[in-house]
Amino acid sequence: MNKNNRAGLALVAGCCLALPAAAQDLVISNARILDGTGNAIERGTVVVREGRIAAVGANASGAPANAVRLDAGGRTVMPGFIDAHRHIVQGDPARWLAEQSAANMREFLEAGFTTVLSAIDAPEQILELRRRTDSGETLGPRIISAAFVPLSRAALGGGGIDPARTDPARAANRPGPTAPGIPDADTLAAVRAAKQRGHDAIKTLIIVTRDGPEQATLKLIADEAARLGMLSITHAVSVIDTVAAVEAGTDILVHTPHIGQLDEATTKKIADANLPMVSTLGVFVPYFNDANMPLFRDRQQFPFDTISSAGQGPVNARLLFQAGITYAYGTDTTWAPRDSLEHELRPLHLVFSHEDLIPIMTKNAAIAVGRGKDLGTLEVGKLADIVILGGDPLADEGALLDVDVVIKGGRVVVGGN
């Protein structure tokens, strides 16, 4: 990268940061635009007015006279990244909110993430954090919060052990013994309570048991969530459970099935349901620390008896993608956002091209968090969530790690230091 060009861009962005916190009128010119829909525009311009995209193209015009101008110097401009399955709060929730949340939110922005779906975090803290980021009190990504509602009274692990290590979905004899059900009235009350607290979505975890209540309860939850204007998102990691979730009518599948091989008929059935699916492939790929130790998501020794998922997940992902599923980026981790991105890109790039990764990170992820109308592409009328990269992600997925400037809702939030 040309260091002089980087410095020039940073200087202009720095001027932006001195302005009030509200959305700005911006013009980003001399940009290589990847708009998230498959288009690549060389030497294009993006015009932002009152926080939304007003024009995009080689000859985009209509910029307000007082707009702040950024010369991208030929760099890549694309939509802000979206993590459609993340766990945000760490350690003691109250202490984390007080002492670490602001810095952690800054890390998301610096990695290019302008929207994150919290797929279960401490309710009080995540909702307060969402309030702070929405108001601008804390500078951070847009947060979409999910509350957990169980499908049965089956034991799903615990004791501080990462459930992915000993996932009952891996049991050789599936489905297992019938799990005790939960009264419908209790389930509906839990969904309504989550709505009253202010959550955006209901998350469920489905592991079907023999003649068990899981699928019927999921349908009850999905129907009630839809009535209340909430998303229903479902953790399903085996082919058996993914089919059950599809049949129950959930909105979003927040994992790729990595237990069991998809056949042609099942692949078509899942894809024809027209649901978005989130990747989370990196969970079963070792993360290596500075001492070259292979670690699992829980930062403990990697359990190599789960390594088959590192191959099966990407294979199933590609089969579903080819069948037409909306495939989206998500990590299901608590690693630093940039580290999670670098890690998730490893299994993704096994089966997806550089060109595929752009909509997976942006357009598809926006659909997966229920915000496709406002986010995920650089199109007129959408919120101006934009990243400017130092490299070319169509040539090297590593360019997605080289974030120079981040704009959220028309406000420059990273760049200029």
* Whether pLDDT at 82 is above 90: yes
Which helix (H) or strand (E) covers residue 343, if one does? Answer: helix 337-351
> 405 and 70 in contact (C-beta within 8 Å)?
yes
Name the pLDDT band for 247 (thresholds 50, 70, 90).
very high
Name the pLDDT band for 166 (thresholds 50, 70, 90).
confident
* Whether pLDDT at 16 is above 50: no
Name the pLDDT band for 155 (thresholds 50, 70, 90).
low
* Whether pLDDT at 348 is above 80: yes
- Distance, first Cα to last Cα, the chain: 18
The per-residue DSSP string of 189-237 comes to: HHHHHHHHHT-SEEEEE---BTT-SHHHHHHHHHHHHHHTT-EEEEE--
pLDDT for position 18:
34
pTM of the predicted model over 0.85: yes
Name the pLDDT band for 4 (thresholds 50, 70, 90).
very low
Cα 154 from Cα 157, distance rounded (Å): 9
pLDDT for position 62:
79
Which residues of the chain does CATH 3.20.20.140 include? 81-368
The strand pair at 40-49 and 26-34 is best described as antiparallel
Closest CA to 67 of 391, 384, 377: 384
* Whether pLDDT at 176 is above 90: no
pLDDT for position 168:
86
Which one-letter DSSP state was computed for residue 407? E
* Whether pLDDT at 417 is above 80: no
pLDDT for position 8:
42
Mean pLDDT computed over 91-104: 97
Which residues of the chain does CATH 2.30.40.10 include? 3-78+381-414
* Whether pLDDT at 21 is above 60: no
* CATH fold for the domain made of 3-78+381-414: Urease, subunit C; domain 1 (2.30.40)
Provide the percentage of residues in the chain whose pLDDT is more than 70: 93
The residues, ordered by sequence, that sit 6+ positions from 265 with a Cβ below 8 Å of its Cβ are: none
Cα 360 from Cα 313, distance rounded (Å): 16
Token representation of residue 82: 């979206």
Cα 307 from Cα 309, distance rounded (Å): 5
The residues, ordered by sequence, that sit 6+ positions from 37 with a Cβ below 8 Å of its Cβ are: 359, 363, 377, 379
Mean pLDDT computed over 317-346: 96
Closest CA to 228 of 147, 119, 127: 147
Name the pLDDT band for 17 (thresholds 50, 70, 90).
very low
* Whether pLDDT at 14 is above 70: no
* Whether pLDDT at 11 is above 90: no
> 168 and 240 in contact (C-beta within 8 Å)?
no
Closest CA to 71 of 39, 41, 46: 46
What is the pLDDT of the chain when averaged over all its residues?
92
* CA distances (Å), origin 13, targets 196, 352, 377: 40, 33, 22
Tokens 């209509």 found at? 62
Name the pLDDT band for 160 (thresholds 50, 70, 90).
low
* Whether pLDDT at 196 is above 60: yes
Q: Which CATH number does the domain 81-368 belong to among 3.40.1410.10, 3.30.830.10, 3.40.30.10, 3.20.20.140?
A: 3.20.20.140
List Cβ<8 Å contacts ≥24 apart for 134-139.
Answer: 136/21, 138/101, 138/102, 138/105, 139/102, 139/105, 139/106, 139/109, 139/413
- Torsion over CA of 290, 292, 297 and 301, rounded to 10 degrees? -130
Cα 63 from Cα 268, distance rounded (Å): 46
pLDDT for position 146:
98
Closest CA to 209 of 240, 184, 230: 240
Cα 200 from Cα 333, distance rounded (Å): 20
Q: Provide the residue type at 88 as one letter.
A: I
Tokens 């052990």 found at? 161
* Whether pLDDT at 20 is above 50: no
pLDDT for position 3:
37
pLDDT for position 63:
78
